[in-house]
Amino acid sequence: MDLDGAHRPRVSRETRLLLTTALVAVTTLWALARVRFPDRPPPPDPVTPILSQLASRPALDELAGELAGVRSRLDEVERLLVPPATATPRGYLGIEVQQLTPMLARATRSATGVVVTWVDPSGPAAATVAAGDVVEAADVEPLPTPLHWEAALARVGPGHPVTLRVRRDGNLHDVTLLAASGRVQPQGAALGLGLAARPRVGSFVTRVTAGSAAAQAQISPGDVVTRIAGVEAPSPAAIRRVFADAPAGEPLVVVVARGDTHRVTALEK
């Protein structure tokens, strides 16, 4: 009789589910970071040390084996999403997207794809793609999520063409764009803000660069930008877009919360 096996502590179903979910979440975030920032050195694999710790404990070695099986399947997905380290520099299309929700799917008559939320007016897509369009595929590859969109862009180098299948007003058409090397920044002072999102409030200022437009407007770390150029509770991306799209020399009215007080200032390139 295997007394050790008979008295081995069992891991509950809830614990197994919790650890499996955590493993999937950590691996997904790790892969997403590598897709979103392909030009940076890859971060250390956070999962292997966890599996090693579990396998070293007799009560958990079986669970470690199950999780290792899940990890191997995630590795297959990662190989599809993460470009190789030798990939060319990432091209720029000037398009931002979000998830296609069920309500948006009905409104746009789209079964799959990502919704365009913004198009750079000076970017490659300015004349052919518009906010509200649904991009269903890139070079024939379906785009069911924004993660797939990021992965597709990571494989497009500057000067390379990419064909997008775009649905507008229920009609499908293909658009071929030539990726640029980066966004053309207008002349003038840089924004100079490090920002963190505060949902339904605005954006928390984490850093201000000396000599920047933000420094000249006397914005300080710890401030919260609650309004800019008529946009309430702006996200960091919204603040950067509004500033980037503003003509040089045209000030933008900004409302800032500082502790228990509020003040109005102006940002100018």
At 95-127, the pLDDT tens digits run: 988 889 899 999 999 999 999 988 888 889 999
Question: In Å, how far are 68, 76, 151 from 71, measured between CA atoms?
Answer: 5, 9, 20
Q: Are 204 and 145 in contact (CB under 8 A)?
A: no
Instruction: Write down all domains in the chain, each with its CATH number in brackets.
Output: 3-81 (no CATH), 95-178 (2.30.42.10), 193-267 (2.30.42.10)
- Give the pLDDT band of residue 225 (cuts 50, 70, 90): very high
Q: Give the separation between CA 113 and CA 34, rounded to whole angstroms.
A: 22
Query: Taking 80 as the threshold, does the pLDDT of residue 261 lie above it?
Result: yes
Q: Give the separation between CA 13 and CA 5, rounded to whole angstroms.
A: 18
Residue 13 in tokens: 């179903």
Residue 103 in tokens: 């309500």
Structure confidence by residue, pLDDT tens digits, 27-66: 666 666 655 555 555 556 665 666 555 555 555 555 555 5
- How confident is the prediction for the chain on average, in pLDDT? 79
Distance, C-alpha 269 to centroid of its chain: 26
State the DSSP code for 226.
E
Q: Give the separation between CA 156 and CA 83, rounded to whole angstroms.
A: 10
Structure confidence by residue, pLDDT tens digits, 26-36: 766 666 665 55
